[in-house]
Chains A and B, each alone.
Chain A
């Protein structure tokens, strides 16, 4: 496989997963950027464990996933039922703290970055297996009673409470799950790139994944799945001079879609129509 194709596919998987990590808490209207911090923490942990302790890739992946879940779970005890703005602020704060700690931590390469994370076989395969498994469970969730309850919370939290939905527990569950995805994706990213830079885990990735979520459509899991390869792939095809304006292009696209199609490209109606066409075959 050619190197550009390899990176295209690998980073597409990373963006699909990170956008799903945003998608899940957003099911209950939580824009939970802490997943970016989870990605950084588990990614750096994974790089360190591989370089210094020679831990095998799959073990690191598992530990990175658990680490992400544990961090997100502890935070969710405080903000599992918080209003959206509080969740956003906690997320930003967490990213900022994480970045500051990494930048001042010699052993993690500080501002220079971490290099020499070993190459391992089958990273791409593992990444897409993880996409598959994650997608399967999100699909199951979305079509379960909890998914229905989440949709109710999204529209009206108080009303959902009065119908007996435990909004706090559901919020904690989704935040923890998203943290686990963020953590595992951080490890995958570390082994795809073989190096890490603290600057990556900031507004850069927030901007990209948010665009993917809202452009693709936040009401179904299919939006992120489609938007990630398109939005990440398109700038690669553009001439270098245009592609360097990528973030601005993303920003403009985001504003345009919010104005003309607030639920994003793939809405529930679109998904339902596609499903009925596919099932008829």
Chain B
């Protein structure tokens, strides 16, 4: 069965405010199965807010979120995670005082039966994590922490992962490694929603993109289109 082109995630007219701050003002976007979709935008544009809205971290949002043809808008985050979405949070969200393996098992919170097999799988992908498994996660380097955060997401057996600004604070070489890993994972079938300020690299990696400004989508298209778009080149690519 060819499931390409099937929409896995649909966000429709979502609003979110934190008290008086309106972070999202009617955002709509979609991710097709097998796609890497990137959200680009400056600090404060609303990238993190979109991801957290999709997960249902804030029940105060308005609009609809559909995942695998099911309306998940009113589900709590733990139910949405069970449906197969997992967030790799901004700043990695690694628990520094826990061991690497405990961080990984946290990802398998709803999937403990398969935890053993999943551990083998992520250790295979990230041998460095296997070496460091009993180390306190606080002792890992930035790149290793990012790998741990991605590996933890895979432990939950997701169909889609949302990766929030993975390149922050990493050396260019490490960023390329992380992006390579994301590409690999995508080839294995994971759909990916990525947020980035490293616009050039992100557009090179992704299939499609959305440009966000102050809580609104101002531009969308395939990554090739966006890469040659004059406005993007001026605002984000320094051309």
Q: In the bound complex, do residue A163 and residue B57 qualify as a contact, i.e. CB atoms below 8 Å apart? A: no
> Is A252 close to B, CB under 8 A?
no
Query: Across the interface, which residues of B come within 8 angstroms of A148, CB to CB?
Result: 98, 102, 105-106, 109
Q: In the bound complex, do residue A151 and residue B98 qualify as a contact, i.e. CB atoms below 8 Å apart? A: yes
B76, B98, B107, B112: the one within 8 Å of A163 (CB): B107
Question: What string of 1s and 0s marks CB contacts (under 8 Å) between A160-179 and chain B?
Answer: 01111110000000000000
- Please tell me the size bucket of the interface on B: 20 to 34
Minimal Cβ-Cβ distance residue in B for A269: B136
Assess A166 versus B102: contact at CB under 8 Å? Given A145-B112, A152-B95, A268-B97: no
Cβ distance B45 to chain A, nearest Cβ, rounded Å: 19
Q: How far is the CA of A166 from the CA of B156 in the complex (A)?
A: 15
| From B86, B97, B156, residue with most partner A Cβ within 10 Å | B97
**Which one of B24-32, B77-85, B173-181, B221-229 contacts A?**
B77-85
> Is B217 close to A, CB under 8 A?
no
Query: Across the interface, which residues of A come within 8 angstroms of B189, CB to CB?
Result: none
Q: How far is the CA of A161 from the CA of B87 in the complex (A)?
A: 11
Query: Across the interface, which residues of A come within 8 angstroms of B93, CB to CB?
Result: 156, 159, 162-163
> Is B166 close to A, CB under 8 A?
no
> Is B52 close to A, CB under 8 A?
yes
Query: Across the interface, which residues of B come within 8 angstroms of A159, CB to CB?
Result: 89, 93
Query: Across the interface, which residues of B come within 8 angstroms of A156, CB to CB?
Result: 93, 95
Q: In the bound complex, do residue A162 and residue B87 qualify as a contact, i.e. CB atoms below 8 Å apart? A: yes
B77, B95, B98: the one within 8 Å of A162 (CB): B77
Assess A162 versus B52: contact at CB under 8 Å? Given A145-B105, A148-B102, A155-B97: yes
> Is B110 close to A, CB under 8 A?
yes
> Is B55 close to A, CB under 8 A?
yes
A149, A152, A158, A164: the one within 8 Å of B82 (CB): A164
Assess A152 versus B52: contact at CB under 8 Å? Given A164-B82, A164-B156: no
Minimal Cβ-Cβ distance residue in A for B85: A164
Assess A151 versus B77: contact at CB under 8 Å? Given A163-B106, A164-B109, A164-B110: no
Tell me the residues in window 86-117 of chain B with beta carbons closer than 8 Å to chain A beta carbons: 86-87, 89, 93, 95, 97-98, 102, 105-110, 112
Cβ distance A267 to chain B, nearest Cβ, rounded Å: 10
Q: How far is the CA of A152 from the CA of B105 in the complex (A)?
A: 11
Question: What string of 1s and 0s marks CB contacts (under 8 Å) between A265-280 and chain B?
Answer: 0001000000000000
Question: What string of 1s and 0s marks CB contacts (under 8 Å) between A59-94 and chain B?
Answer: 000000000000000000000000000000000000
Question: What string of 1s and 0s marks CB contacts (under 8 Å) between B8-52 and chain A?
Answer: 000000000000000000000000000000000000000000001
Query: Across the interface, which residues of A come within 8 angstroms of B112, CB to CB?
Result: 145
B78, B89, B152: the one within 8 Å of A165 (CB): B78
Tell me the residues in window 27-48 of chain A with beta carbons closer than 8 Å to chain B beta carbons: none
A151, A152, A162, A166: the one within 8 Å of B55 (CB): A162
Residues on B lying within 8 angstroms of A by beta carbon are: 52, 55, 57, 76-78, 80-82, 86-87, 89, 93, 95, 97-98, 102, 105-110, 112, 152, 156
For this complex, 13 residue pairs linking A to B, each with C-beta atoms less than 8 Å apart, are: A148-B98, A148-B105, A149-B106, A149-B109, A158-B57, A161-B57, A161-B78, A162-B52, A162-B77, A163-B107, A164-B86, A164-B110, A166-B78
Apart from A151-B98, A155-B97, A163-B81, 17 more pairs, CB < 8 Å: A148-B109, A149-B106, A151-B95, A152-B95, A155-B95, A156-B95, A162-B52, A162-B77, A162-B89, A162-B93, A163-B156, A164-B78, A164-B82, A164-B109, A164-B110, A164-B156, A166-B76
